[in-house]
Structure 1
Amino acid sequence: MKRAWFLPVLFVLCGSVLATVLIFQGSPGRAVAYLLVFVLLAGMYSPLVFPRSIGAQQAQNRSAVDGRPIVFWRPGCKYCLRLRIRLAHRARQAHWVNIWRDPAGAAAVRAANGGNETVPTVVVAGRPHTNPDPAWVRGQLSASA
């Protein structure tokens, strides 16, 4: 849990320090602008941007019933963020598993990627796909709906 929030908290702290320095230098406008940028970065890299995660076993059970893809991800991963943003509202159709919160999910990703925890790993119909094109994943979501 702590790892998931490390980067967002670091962004907010760095932004706060920079804003404080700029305010003392007499640039409150720049301070607000920089603080906003750092807060937006913190928001983008926080777990809050992603749909609610479930456990790997629960995701596999649900996927077996409804045929929807399983997306294994972790907070702070720019490729996971890219996938999430490009899927837009359709992202909620997939089953999301945070590998930092679910050891079984991390083990599934390692098994699919030769021992590496490479994310995003998307499992469709039991076949893993490492860092797939977001357009392809959208197609898979449309096919399963």
Structure 2
Amino acid sequence: MRRWTLPLLLAAIGLAVAVRQADEGSPVAAAVWSAVFLVLAAGLSPLAFPRSVGAAEARRRSADDGRPIIYWRPGCQYCLRLRLRLGRAARRAHWVDIWRDPEGAAEVRAITGGAETVPTVVVSGRSQVNPDPAWLRRRLK
């Protein structure tokens, strides 16, 4: 449920702002504010990311096809930035949501020295925390 906390909170705030604007006689402002908050909520939700797999499955798949593993969590602005900059190439990576997979969270902690810093990317056994999107895009081709 915590994966959806921030998106639902943003949607609720957007609704409250829209209702207030509509009550004050500004239906256009109400529509604009609700659209802004809904876009933010959608962007920070798990829906903006490719389907996640477990850490063990991601390691197995990566060993088979050589594609990177990206550890992420919903609501992370750096994960969203990486996802948006990768564009359609993001679907070629194996994504692991550390909030859904305790084993993935443990792997990130092992890589980062105890922190759950994401995005953390593993390519061919080498890890990088918050990588440059251009660097990762080259490895996804």
Q: Same fold (TM over 0.5)?
A: yes
Letter matched to residue 119 of structure 1 = V
Amino acid at match of 1:13: A
3-state SS of 2:70 partner: strand
| CA RMSD after TM alignment | 0.5
TM-score, structure 2 as length reference: 0.99
Residue aligning to 1:102: 101
Q: Deviations over 1:6-50 (max 9, x none)?
A: 010011100101111111111111001100000000010000000
Distance 1:112 1:12 in 2: 34
CA distance in 2, matches of 1:65, 1:26: 59
Instruction: Name the amino acid aligned to 1:11.
Output: L
Paired with 2:9 and 2:49, the residues of 1 have a C-alpha distance of 19
Structure 2 distance, partners of 1:133, 1:63, is 20
- 1:122 matched to which residue of 2? 121
Aligned to 2:10: 11
Q: Classify the secondary structure of the residue corresponding to 2:100.
A: coil
1:127 shift after superposition: 1.1
User: Residues 51-66 of structure 1 correspond to what in structure 2 (within 5 A)?
Assistant: 51-66=50-65
Q: Name the SS of the counterpart of 2:37 in structure 1.
A: helix
Unpaired stretches in structure 2, ≥5 consecutive residues: none
**Residue in structure 1 matched with residue 84 of structure 2 by the alignment:** 85
- The answer for the alignment partner of 2:67 in structure 1 is 68
**Separation (CA, whole Å) in 2 of partners of 1:120 and 1:41:** 19
Aligned partner of 1:26 in structure 2 is 25
